[in-house]
Amino acid sequence: MIQKKICLLGASSVGKTSLVKQFVEGIFSEKYLTTIGVKIDKKTLSIANEQVNLLLWDMEGNDSYNVFQEKYLRGAAGYIIVVDQTRASSLLEGIDIHTLARQVTDCPAILAINKSDLLATWHLDDSEYEAYQDLFALHFLTSAKTGNNVEQMFSSLAELLLKREKNDLTT
């Protein structure tokens, strides 16, 4: 079975743990419980008759209490930058983390704009959207609460990684 390490990165309280919980267990809790350190969950997906085991590294959010540690990205096949659409600052923090991550890996990165069930306080304008399109392999507007786009995001990432692996093998 193919195994892929995926890291969830972003500012604190953007919903990284909730996205993993929704994806792995299909549940959501309204109560915010901050993550400390790292927690790894696993889920196996079946993609085009292939079994892909995703190792989801859910990391403590980055803020003044916890700085980004690039060492955790070692061996990652992809990473997801999670931002909160109710807090514009989380996008800037997410982009900063992405910039730091890019210094150690060039694996595919996904932008997850989370909390889509809540009223957005910021939107990407056309020019920003264009600018960010080049930074990320895929974008998703997700809601860990309703489950909107959660499964789809992880599956698309798995598909992308599988495709890359096949391309690598053939070239």
Partner 1 sequence: MTSLLNTALNALEQVVLEVTDAKSCTVKLLEGGSTWASDLFPQSSDQQAFTINEDIPFLLDFLIDAKTIWQQQENAKLHSGLWTEITSNNKELHLEAIAIKHQQRNILVISNQLENFKIQQKTKQLAREVLLSYDRLFLKNEYLHTRLLSILNQPTDQSNVLATLAKVIENAEFAVLIASKDFTTSIENSAALSLFKQDDLLRSQSARPIDILITLMKNQLPEYQRILATGSSWDGELCWILPPSTLKWLKIGFYPVKSKNNQVESWIIFANDISTIKHLTQRNELLAMQDMLTELPNRFAFWQTLEEHIASKQAFYLLYIDINDFRRHNEFYGHHEGDKLLIELSKRIRRVIKAVDFIARVGGDEFAIILSGIDNKKACELAIKRIIENINKPFQTKELELFAIKVSIGVANYPNDAESVEELMKFVDLSAYNGKKNKKNSVQFYSKSMKDASHDLIKIEQELRQAIANNEFELYLQPIIDVKTNCINKAEALIRWNHPENGLISPDQFIPIAEKSGLIIALGQWVISRSCQIAKAINQLGYNVKISMNLSPSQVTDVNLFSHLRSCIKDNQLNPGLLELEVTEGVLVDDYAVAEKLLSKVRMIGMSVSVDDFGTGYSSLAYLKKLPLDYLKIDRSFIKEIVTDDNDKAIVRAVIAMAHNLNLCVTAEGVETKEQLTFLINNSCNSVQGYMLSRPIKLEHFIKLLNEQKTIN
Q: Which residues bind partner 1 (CB under 8 A)?
A: 3, 5, 12-13, 32-34, 36-40, 55, 61, 63-67, 69, 71-72, 74-75, 86-89, 121-122, 125, 127, 130-131, 134
Q: What are the DSSP calls for 84-132, one per residue?
A: ETT-HHHHHHHHHHHHHHHTT--S-EEEEEE-TTSPPS----HHHHHHH
Which three-class secondary structure state does DSSP give residue 15? Answer: coil
Structure letter (DSSP) for residue 11: B
Minimum CB separation from partner 1 for residue 155, in Å?
Answer: 21
Least separation in angstroms between CB 100 and partner 1: 12
Asked if 144 and 30 count as a contact pair (C-beta separation under 8 A), the reply is: no
Residue closer to partner 1, measured from CB, 62 or 149: 62
Which residue's CB is nearer to partner 1, number 120 or number 152?
120
Q: Cβ closer to partner 1: 61 or 108?
A: 61
Q: Which is nearer to partner 1, 96 or 165 (CB)?
A: 96
Residue (3 or 152) nearer to partner 1, CB: 3
Whole-number Cα distances in Å, 56 to 9, 24, 168: 11, 9, 23
Q: How far is the CB of 92 from partner 1 (least distance, A)?
A: 8
CB-based contacts of 115, cutoff 8 Å, min separation 6: 14, 15, 84, 85, 86, 143, 144, 145
- CB 48, min distance to partner 1, A: 24
**Residue at token pair 């892929």:** 4
SS3 33: coil
Q: Closest approach of Cβ 98 to partner 1, in Å?
A: 12
